């Protein structure tokens, strides 16, 4: 095992497959349409990529612990609706509304975690129920209509979250820095910290982890809260950037986010996760969505490609896992 060469070790890594796929994707789209790598297209792609990416980063840790969260898409829609409703009604400032949205999201994460760990209900069912509760609340509160989104210009919150500036020809949003910071911190937590060891153990063999004194339930509840907070933050960022707060926004994001995470190499069954892989998974799916439109494939065909990528990546990861277990 220790005698493997550097290329062999690189190929054996779960991130290798997604990395190659991303390179191929970019090369193919660029060879068909040179605008694919234009500064404007890269800026546009990155803007939304990082918003969905924030959710995927938290989902990586949660899935590594053996759970997942289907309520993130509904929170993505609900949190900005709550923030703008509080602000529009004059009850709070935008900043306090934002904090209230985060607090409610944290509470929702806590409830998810409590149901899963204390009542022993599978996270699929708990978060499916929460998805409907949160989405239903957003629709009920707003009568199904988008909220007025007064220009948030001048607000330090908007500047901090989605302020934009140019680096050469590239338009960069502040959210990109939040995404990079979140990826760096969560990558560190997962691979370097004691908490990361507990997360992997909680997903890999919860009984063994408990027997060693690891607070498995505490770890999982914390990750459900993190997942909800990131979904809420992503929703608010998206809302501020587009000046829109639609109670229906975020529909279907939960599955896209889970796809990003598993394509990157995180095991759906828990115990193994990779933040670098997730970043690659995020880019693969967003580049695919952007690229197929640019080269003239109908956008409705998007899911065909995504499905094929998921199947292909799962086959690759399964093959790598078998090789890994065989020690080759």
Partner 1 sequence: MAEPLIRMTNIKKSYGRVQALEDANFHVNEREIVGLLGDNGAGKSTLIKVLSGAVPLTSGDIFIRGKKVNLRSTSDAIAQGIETIYQDSALVTQLSIARNLFLGREPIKPPRFLNRMDQEAMNVVARDLLKQVGISKNIPPTTPIGSLSGGERQAVAIARAMHFDSDLIILDEPTNNLGVAETQGVLSFVRNARDSGHSCIFIAHNIHHVFQVVDRIVVMRRGKVVADDIDPKKTTVAEVERVITGMSDKEIRDAIVEGRPSRG
Closest to partner 1 by CB, 216 or 240: 216
3-state secondary structure string, 37-82?
HCHHHHHHHHHHHHHHHHHHHHHHHHHHCCCCCCCHHHHHHHHHHH
Asked whether position 327 contacts partner 1 by CB under 8 A, the answer is yes
* Binds partner 1 by CB under 8 A, chosen from 113, 271, 277, 281: 271
CB of 46 closer than 8 Å to CB of 311? no
Q: What's CA 106's distance to the chain center, in Å?
A: 16
Q: How far apart are CA 99 and CA 78, in angstroms?
A: 14
Nearest-approach distance from CB 214 to partner 1, in angstroms:
5
Phi-psi label, residue 129: left if phi above 0, alpha if psi -120 to 50, beta otherwise: alpha
Closest to partner 1 by CB, 249 or 274: 274
Residue partners of 306: CB distance under 8 A and separation at least 6:
256, 259, 285, 288
Binding piece for partner 1, criterion CB under 8 A, among 129-137, 238-246, 296-304, 320-328 = 320-328
**Interface residues for partner 1 in 171-210 (CB under 8 A)?**
189, 192-195, 197-198, 200-201, 203-205, 207-210
Nearest-approach distance from CB 271 to partner 1, in angstroms:
4
CB of 25 closer than 8 Å to CB of 284? yes
Residues touching partner 1: how many (CB under 8 A)?
Answer: 29
- Structural element, H or E, at residue 290: helix 275-294
- Locate tokens 């290329």: which residue? 7
How far is the CA of 235 from the CAs of 84, 163, 193, 326, in angstroms?
12, 16, 28, 43
Nearest-approach distance from CB 225 to partner 1, in angstroms:
18
* Burial of 40 from C-beta contacts in 10 A (0-12 / 13-18 / 19+): exposed
Closest to partner 1 by CB, 200 or 232: 200
How far is the CA of 293 from the CAs of 36, 37, 104, in angstroms?
10, 14, 37
Nearest-approach distance from CB 188 to partner 1, in angstroms:
8
Closest to partner 1 by CB, 89 or 207: 207
Nearest-approach distance from CB 314 to partner 1, in angstroms:
17
Nearest-approach distance from CB 270 to partner 1, in angstroms:
8
Closest to partner 1 by CB, 137 or 205: 205
Closest to partner 1 by CB, 89 or 325: 325
* Binds partner 1 by CB under 8 A, chosen from 135, 220, 241, 272: 272
Closest to partner 1 by CB, 42 or 189: 189
How far is the CA of 29 from the CAs of 52, 71, 189, 262, 296, in angstroms?
22, 33, 35, 23, 11
**Interface residues for partner 1 in 248-267 (CB under 8 A)?**
267
**Residue 20 in 3-state DSSP?**
helix
Closest to partner 1 by CB, 34 or 212: 212
Q: Using CB under 8 A as the criterion, what x/- string covers residues 211-240 for binding partner 1?
A: xxxx--------------------------
Nearest-approach distance from CB 208 to partner 1, in angstroms:
5
Nearest-approach distance from CB 9 to partner 1, in angstroms:
11
CB of 178 closer than 8 Å to CB of 161? yes
Closest to partner 1 by CB, 91 or 185: 185
Q: Which residues bind partner 1 (CB under 8 A)?
A: 1-2, 189, 192-195, 197-198, 200-201, 203-205, 207-214, 267, 271-272, 324-327
């Amino acid at each position: 095992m220790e005698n493997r060469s550097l290329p062999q070790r690189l190929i054996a890594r779960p991130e290798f497959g997604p990395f190659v796929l991303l390179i191929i994707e970019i090369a193919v789209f660029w060879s068909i349409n040179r605008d694919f790598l234009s500064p404007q297209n890269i800026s546009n792609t990155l803007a939304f990529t990082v918003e969905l990416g924030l959710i995927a980063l938290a989902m990586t840790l949660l899935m590594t612990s053996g759970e997942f969260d289907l309520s993130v898409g509904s929170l993505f829609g609900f949190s900005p609706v709550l923030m703008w409703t509080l602000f529009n009604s004059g009850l709070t400032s935008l900043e306090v509304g934002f904090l209230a949205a985060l607090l409610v999201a944290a509470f929702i994460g806590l409830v998810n975690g409590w149901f899963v760990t204390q009542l022993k209900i599978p996270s699929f069912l708990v978060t499916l129920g929460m998805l409907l509760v949160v989405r239903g609340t957003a629709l009920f509160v707003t009568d199904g209509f988008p909220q007025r989104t007064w220009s948030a210009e001048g607000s330090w919150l908007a500047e901090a979250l989605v302020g934009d500036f140019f680096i050469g020809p590239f338009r960069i949003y502040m959210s990109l820095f939040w995404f990079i910071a979140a990826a760096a911190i969560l990558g560190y937590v997962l691979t370097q910290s004691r908490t990361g060891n507990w997360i992997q153990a909680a997903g890999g063999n919860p009984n063994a982890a408990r027997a060693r004194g690891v607070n498995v339930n505490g770890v999982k509840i914390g990750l459900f809260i993190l997942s909800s907070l990131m979904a809420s933050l992503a929703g608010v960022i998206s809302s501020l950037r587009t000046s829109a707060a639609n109670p229906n926004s975020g529909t279907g994001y939960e599955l896209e986010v889970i796809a990003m995470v598993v394509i990157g190499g995180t095991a759906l069954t828990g115990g193994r996760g990779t933040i670098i892989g997730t970043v690659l998974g995020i880019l693969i799916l967003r580049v695919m969505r952007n690229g197929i439109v640019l080269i003239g494939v109908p956008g409705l065909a998007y899911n065909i490609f995504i499905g094929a990528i998921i199947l292909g990546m799962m086959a690759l990861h399964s093959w790598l896992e078998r090789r890994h277990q065989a020690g080759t």
